[in-house]
């Protein structure tokens, strides 16, 4: 049986983890590769690196992080942030990334999804959606670009369907309303998107406690959960999360 | 040429050219990243070299065929580099061979992914897509478990039945010969997640991405 994936996410800028992790066992908790190794040891199912500045100067540093991670962690790695062309896909895949996540560029140039899917296969094309609930409207979410700063005039569910039709292999769905609140994922949004497409959906934004992950996988119909702070600050180990989910009847790899 | 004659010729080649002997050759046909497979094989003691032509394949003691992308593109690239016949010869010579993901699918006769394109034809059967009628997310992405059909397979030595491995795929082979099926996995339906015939091994999952379980299988391959 296919298990639900637990995916720690590391925000990186200039080759350093933003805000840092609080792994007591690591000598340098700001080193993304050291953090990746720790999550590998903990049995995380995948890892996501997000380049949050994504300037061209940063690109070389990020490639180096991905290369060094691929040398020591034998697990799937996704990298995102500032991906604009199939050339960027090529650079990250050659560095050792298994999947590449694209966001703003795909909205301005949806053909990028199709081109990347044809050249590298759908399986490595992740499209990130940053969605915000439309006030007053029942069950409608708008897509935002540029790290959540600009509205894109796109309905999140419609955009998800378009992504699938263009050959995107997976959706990384972040609720901007829930992100950073630690009050739980947006279950309704996740479910609406997950039920609208036949490609896997990774839920992101809002994880604060174990019950949140459980709910979004169960009621939200997510195929995987992304979480940052609950892991970084040592609140929970990956195995704690999995044991909890298993006890609730959710299939996980232990 | 008979296979024993070919084997003797190959042996002679190795003895006369000890420098040219390649412990593990990784077929590089321009379809993406070899780095992960290379690093994983090195981690378990393999000496790896990427090969791009028939000479490199012929000089190998063991051969690994990875692959991402589409079935038709891969066959086209293999043909353009003159690798199709040399890979067939290699497998028939009885030296250890490992196909991974698309490198597994390519062993069969043809695929729904690229109609009319012949595969390597080393195993009978076709490659099909997960049927649209099933309530499944496609591609299958993630960790699924193996059910051993042939637990005596040397690659499964030290690997517990039921172990989870990492999959990313929309297509899978249906071997026509039931005895080729080494492990099965359920995704909407049971499918052959690994095959084994003689010293030919191939898997739909990514051992190089499957943490300790995958590394154990690669170690077994290196030690064959």
Known catalytic membership, residue B74 = no
Q: Which residues pair with A79 in a beta bridge?
A: A49, A100
Residues A94-120, mean pLDDT to the nearest whole number: 94
pLDDT at B15 over 60: no
Nearest Cα residue to A73 out of A168, A8, A12, A2: A8
Under 8 Å between Cβ of A23 and A35: yes
- C-alpha distance from B8 to closest chain A C-alpha (Å): 37
Q: Which residues pair with B118 in a beta bridge?
A: B110
Interface test with B, best of A76, A242, A254 (most B CBs within 10 A): A76
Chain A residue with minimum CA distance to B35: A96
Q: How far is residue A240 from each of residues A170, A202, A247, measured CA to CA in Å?
A: 26, 20, 11
Give me the pLDDT at residue A29, please. 73
Under 8 Å between Cβ of B89 and B60: no
Q: Which residues pair with B186 in a beta bridge?
A: B190
If one compares A119 and A40, the residue with the highest pLDDT of the two is: A40
Which pair of tokens denotes residue A130?
Answer: 């940053």
* CB burial of residue A111 (10 Å; 0-12, 13-18, 19+): exposed
Under 8 Å between Cβ of A74 and A145: no
Which pair of tokens denotes residue B184?
Answer: 């099965």
Rounded percentage of chain B residues whose pLDDT exceeds 70: 89
What is the C-alpha separation between B156 and A132, in angstroms, rounded? 48
Asked if B28 is an interface residue toward chain A (Cβ–Cβ < 8 A), one would say no
Residues A213-221, mean pLDDT to the nearest whole number: 97
Residues A78-105, mean pLDDT to the nearest whole number: 93
Rg, C-alpha atoms of chain B: 17
Query: For B107-151, how does the pLDDT look when each residue is reduced to its tens digit (9 = 90+)?
Result: 999 999 999 999 999 999 999 999 988 889 999 999 999 999 999
Q: Do B166 and A76 touch (CB under 8 A)?
A: yes
Partner B, chain A 125-164, Cβ-Cβ below 8 Å: none
Residues B79-91, mean pLDDT to the nearest whole number: 97
Interface test with A, best of B141, B146, B210, B215 (most A CBs within 10 A): B141
- C-alpha distance from A252 to closest chain B C-alpha (Å): 8
CA A92-B71-B181 angle, to 5 degrees, is: 105
Asked if B148 is an interface residue toward chain A (Cβ–Cβ < 8 A), one would say no
Least confident residue range of A42-46, A56-60, B73-77: A56-60
Q: Do A123 and B168 touch (CB under 8 A)?
A: yes
- C-alpha distance from B165 to closest chain A C-alpha (Å): 9
Which pair of tokens denotes residue B92?
Answer: 């028939």
pLDDT at B13 over 60: no
Could you identify the residue written with the tokens 């492990």?
B183
Q: Return the DSSP state at A52.
A: S
Interface test with B, best of A37, A90, A123 (most B CBs within 10 A): A123
Nearest Cα residue to B169 out of A194, A113, A199, A48: A199
pLDDT at A228 over 70: yes
Of the pLDDT bands very low, low, confident and very high (cuts 50, 70, 90), residue B182 is very high
Give me the pLDDT at residue B16, please. 52
Q: Which of B35, B136, B139 sits opposite A122 (nearest CB)?
A: B139
Give me the pLDDT at residue A14, please. 85
Query: With a cut of 0.90, is the ipTM above it?
Result: yes
What is the C-alpha separation between A3 and A254, in angstroms, rounded? 10
Give me the pLDDT at residue B21, please. 66
Least confident residue range of A50-59, A243-252, B8-17, B29-38: B8-17
Show the DSSP H helices in A184-237 as ranges. 187-196, 210-218, 229-232
pLDDT at A10 over 70: yes
Give me the pLDDT at residue B55, please. 95
Residues A218-228, mean pLDDT to the nearest whole number: 96
Chain B residue with minimum CA distance to A224: B142
Could you identify the residue written with the tokens 């378990």?
B44
Task: Indicate if the alpha-carbon torsion angle A186, A191, A192, A194 is positive or negative.
Answer: positive
Determine phi and psi for B129, rounding to 5 degrees.
-95, 150
Residues A118-122, mean pLDDT to the nearest whole number: 87
Q: How far is residue A2 from each of residues A163, A183, A189, measured CA to CA in Å?
A: 23, 28, 23
What is the C-alpha separation between B26 and B51, in angstroms, rounded? 6
What is the C-alpha separation between A144 and A130, in angstroms, rounded? 5
Q: Is 0.80 surpassed by the pTM of this model?
A: yes
Render the burial of B34-69: b for 16+ CB within 10 Å, e for the rest: bbbbbbbbebbebebebbeebebbbbbebbbbbbbb
CA B93-B200-B73 angle, to 5 degrees, is: 95
Known catalytic membership, residue B101 = yes
Give me the pLDDT at residue A113, please. 98
């Amino acid at each position: 049986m296919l298990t639900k994936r637990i995916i720690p996410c590391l925000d990186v800028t200039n080759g350093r983890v933003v805000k840092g992790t609080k792994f007591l066992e690591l000598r340098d908790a700001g080193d993304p590769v050291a953090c990746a190794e720790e999550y590998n040891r903990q049995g995380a199912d995948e890892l996501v690196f997000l380049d949050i500045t994504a300037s061209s100067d940063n690109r070389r540093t990020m490639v180096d992080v991905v290369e060094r991670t691929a040398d020591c962690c034998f697990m799937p790695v996704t990298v995102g942030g500032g991906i604009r062309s199939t050339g960027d896909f090529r650079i990250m895949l050659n560095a050792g990334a298994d999947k590449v996540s694209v966001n703003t560029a795909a909205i301005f140039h949806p053909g990028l999804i199709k081109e990347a899917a044809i050249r590298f296969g759908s399986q490595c094309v992740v499209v990130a959606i940053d969605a915000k609930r439309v006030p007053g409207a029942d069950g409608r979410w708008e897509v935002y670009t540029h790290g959540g700063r600009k509205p894109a005039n796109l309905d999140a569910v419609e955009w998800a369907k378009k992504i699938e039709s263009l050959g995107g292999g997976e959706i990384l769905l972040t609720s901007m309303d829930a992100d950073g609140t630690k009050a739980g994922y947006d279950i309704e949004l996740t479910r609406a998107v997950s039920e609208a497409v036949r490609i896997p959906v990774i839920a992101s934004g809002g994880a604060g406690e174990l019950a949140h992950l459980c709910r979004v996988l169960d009621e939200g119909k997510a195929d995987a959960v992304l979480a940052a702070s609950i892991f970084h600050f040592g609140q929970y180990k990956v195995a704690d999360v999995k044991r909890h989910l298993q006890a609730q009847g959710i299939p996980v790899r232990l | 040429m008979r296979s024993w004659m070919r084997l003797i010729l190959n042996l002679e080649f190795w003895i006369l050219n000890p420098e040219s002997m390649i412990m593990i050759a990784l077929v590089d046909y321009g379809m993406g990243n070899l780095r992960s497979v290379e690093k994983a094989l090195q981690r378990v003691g393999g000496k790896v070299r990427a090969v791009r032509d028939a000479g490199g394949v012929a000089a190998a003691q063991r051969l690994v065929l990875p692959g991402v992308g589409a079935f038709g593109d891969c066959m086209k690239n293999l043909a353009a580099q003159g690798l199709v016949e040399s890979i067939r010869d290699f497998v028939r010579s009885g030296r250890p061979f490992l196909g991974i993901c698309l490198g597994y699918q390519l062993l069969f006769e043809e695929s729904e992914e690229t109609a009319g394109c012949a595969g390597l034809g080393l195993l009978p059967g076709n490659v099909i897509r997960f049927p649209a009628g099933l309530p499944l997310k496609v591609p299958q992405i993630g960790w699924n478990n193996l059910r051993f059909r042939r637990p005596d397979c040397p690659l499964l030595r030290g690997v517990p039945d039921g172990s989870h491995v990492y999959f990313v795929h929309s297509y899978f082979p249906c071997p026509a010969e039931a005895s080729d099926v080494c492990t099965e996995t359920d995704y909407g339906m049971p499918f052959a997640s690994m095959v084994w015939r003689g010293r030919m091994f191939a898997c739909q999952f990514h051992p190089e991405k499957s943490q300790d379980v995958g590394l154990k299988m690669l170690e077994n391959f290196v030690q064959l």
